[in-house]
Structure 1
Amino acid sequence: MADQPIIKLHDGNMMPQFGLGVWQASIEDARKAAVKALDVGYRSIDTAAIYKNEEAIGQALQETDVPRDDIFITTKLWNEDQLNSQQAMETSLKKLQLEQVDLYLMHWPCPEKDNFVEAWKGMIELQKQGLTKSIGVCNFQQAHLKRLIDETGVVPVVNQIELHPMLQQRELHAWNAMHQIQTESWSPLAQGGKGVFDQEIIKNLAKKYGKTPAQIVIRWHLDSGLVVIPKSVTPARIEENFKVFDFRLEKPEISEIAKLDKGQRLGPDPDEFN
């Protein structure tokens, strides 16, 4: 098994740079995908309360031979539970059959409701109780992050955002980096490569390296310093996505992929999603 890159978060905890996403996967599919991924060599799994498949990850953790300490588990606080993070966390832990997760993320800021600073204070408390090792956010813009930091003094370790070659969010990525916040990409393949895999540059690189377009895009995330969690429930695809540690893109190739950025969102706008 090739050595996977590990990222050191600003709170001192370590996070694999590569993992499995299970958004929109049924309980049975998510369980099988997680078991397969751990078998292949994945050491990070990303779920969420709203995915309704946390118990699948709990089952997979019981089934696998990989020790719990070697696996990085992320789950997320859903919007409706922002003022009830304690109970939400306890529910998630029960489903995951765990006493602690590695990373707990606030799923959306929901700026109109304006509960995210309160929710963050609740998450700080959960970390103090040892229910999660690290805390972070998803889909936060600079203004939301700035408020969290200004009002609590606690900087999220991760900001998980929609990020793929058609939506590179370079300004936000740079702002995160400046504040030691690790950027993590969701929908890294633009939902099955929509409009990405058929780009000339991606096709040419796939040919050059003897890789699939998906593998080229995953490698682009890794070489850009992003944490990446491609979602798949197909065993062959789960394996294929993992075979990205035996090559690297060159700087000019990364610059070419940068030109694909169209600011094109596939998911909701964090400033408007409530």
Structure 2
Amino acid sequence: MLLQAVGHPRILRRTGRSRRRASCAGRAAAGMAGAIRGTTAAMDTLDQPTVLLPGDVRMPLLGFGTWQATGEAGHAAVLAALDAGYRHVDTATMYGNEAEVGRAVRDSGLRREDVFVTTKLPPDRVGRERETIEASLRALGLDHVDLWLIHWPPSAASDSIPVWRELLAARDEGLTRAVGVSNYGTGQLDELIQATGEVPAVNQIRWGPALYDRRRHAEHRDRGVVLEGYSPFKSTDLSDPVLTRIAAAHDVSPAQVVLRWHVDHGIVVIPKSVTPERIRANADIWGFSLTAEEMHDIDALGG
């Protein structure tokens, strides 16, 4: 079975069915095929839809955010997320929880290659990039991460390109499989691309229905940069009639609709929670898909 992907990069469809709504799997596949088109996609081995990054790196479209999840509560949250089916965990040096994230990955019993781990370089580490990634790997207990991002553009614009070169060097040395940025504007992306000829694999930015910007989405797609959204619920009114109507039609929650909207757009999304019930609910979005009309209605929430 082959599906079509949204432009570039490629979206790879999961193989498994939803545990809660297995009978809907055929409808979900049809919906995904309708929403994702442009480039041929293949079956994935992670039982999750993934986007293909440069270097044949597969990044699950649904990730687990860990900002403010620290200490034993953070460890328990990541462990619960992996148990619920997440195969992508997002952390950062600034979060102060890399050790807990790494311990949870090990304690999960999952194979290292089946868990996609992202961490980020803080803006105050300009000139100390190699030292920082090595410290991150020690804290995580890993020999590499799957994705390393510049967390914020450096305060001095002239530092952005040298920092980007250091990330590329870390990738080439095998310390990370892919590199990208976070909170970058399109012009800032272009500066990196023009200076090095290397396209950031990912740009992680704040995103959600209320922030939807069709042009910005297209600008990332046209450059081959994967758009990854954080804080998907922060600016979105989950009681909005559009979301509640669509949620009722699929017998899911408005939050699940928001997450599915990201995935059906081919946008990586990283909801966060430390509540086991909410963690499980956020992971359970594979038994339904949104129609083209529903996608359009949610897009319109962005104004």
What TM-score do the two structures reach when normalised by structure 1? Answer: 0.91
Give deviations 1:156-186, integer Å, cap 9, x for gaps.
1111111011111332221111111110001
Worse overlay, 170-179 or 150-159: 170-179
How far does residue 144 in structure 1 lie from its aligned partner after superposition? 0.4
- Contact kept, 8 Å, 2:123 with 2:155, in 1: the verdict is no
What residue is the counterpart of 2:76 in the other structure? Answer: 32
- Give the AA of the match of 1:181: V
- Contact kept, 8 Å, 1:11 with 1:157, in 2: the verdict is no
- Give the AA of the match of 2:299: A
Counting only pairs closer than 5 Å after superposition, residues 27-176 of structure 1 correspond to structure 2 as 27-176=71-220
- Give the AA of the match of 1:99: D
What residue is the counterpart of 1:255 in the other structure? Answer: 296
**CA separation in 1, counterparts of 2:164 and 2:76?**
33
How far does residue 6 in structure 1 lie from its aligned partner after superposition? 1.3
Q: Which runs of 5+ in 2 are unaligned?
A: 1-15, 18-46
- Give the AA of the match of 1:20: F
How far does residue 116 in structure 1 lie from its aligned partner after superposition? 1.1
- The DSSP-based 3-state class of the residue aligned with 1:65 is coil
- Contact kept, 8 Å, 1:155 with 1:181, in 2: the verdict is yes
**CA separation in 1, counterparts of 2:236 and 2:217?**
22
Give deviations 1:26-57, integer Å, cap 9, x for gaps.
22222111111111111000000001111111
What residue is the counterpart of 1:221 in the other structure? Answer: 262
**CA separation in 2, counterparts of 1:34 and 1:180?**
30
**CA separation in 2, counterparts of 1:222 and 1:243?**
12
- The DSSP-based 3-state class of the residue aligned with 1:116 is helix
Identity of aligned residues (%): 38
Q: Which runs of 5+ in 1 are unaligned?
A: 263-274
Give deviations 1:176-207, integer Å, cap 9, x for gaps.
111111100011122xxx55201110010111
What residue is the counterpart of 1:246 in the other structure? Answer: 287
- Give the AA of the match of 1:217: V
- The DSSP-based 3-state class of the residue aligned with 1:137 is strand
- Contact kept, 8 Å, 1:10 with 1:181, in 2: the verdict is no
In structure 2, do the counterparts of structure 1 residues 135 and 145 end up closer, same or farther at CA, with 3 Å as the change threshold? same
In structure 2, do the counterparts of structure 1 residues 16 and 115 end up closer, same or farther at CA, with 3 Å as the change threshold? same
**CA separation in 1, counterparts of 2:213 and 2:151?**
18
- Give the AA of the match of 2:209: P
How far does residue 224 in structure 1 lie from its aligned partner after superposition? 1.1
CA RMSD of aligned residues (A): 1.3
- Contact kept, 8 Å, 1:30 with 1:53, in 2: the verdict is yes
How far does residue 59 in structure 1 lie from its aligned partner after superposition? 1.2
- The DSSP-based 3-state class of the residue aligned with 2:211 is coil
What residue is the counterpart of 1:23 in the other structure? Answer: 67
What residue is the counterpart of 1:200 in the other structure? Answer: 241
How far does residue 111 in structure 1 lie from its aligned partner after superposition? 5.0
* Structure 1 outlier segments of 4+, above 6 Å: none
**CA separation in 1, counterparts of 2:146 and 2:81?**
18
- Contact kept, 8 Å, 1:27 with 1:56, in 2: the verdict is yes
Q: How many residues align?
A: 259
How far does residue 143 in structure 1 lie from its aligned partner after superposition? 0.8
In structure 2, do the counterparts of structure 1 residues 195 and 134 end up closer, same or farther at CA, with 3 Å as the change threshold? closer
**CA separation in 2, counterparts of 1:135 and 1:55?**
21
**CA separation in 2, counterparts of 1:195 and 1:167?**
8
| 197, 200, 222: which one aligns with 1:178 | 222
- Contact kept, 8 Å, 1:163 with 1:169, in 2: the verdict is no
- Give the AA of the match of 2:142: L
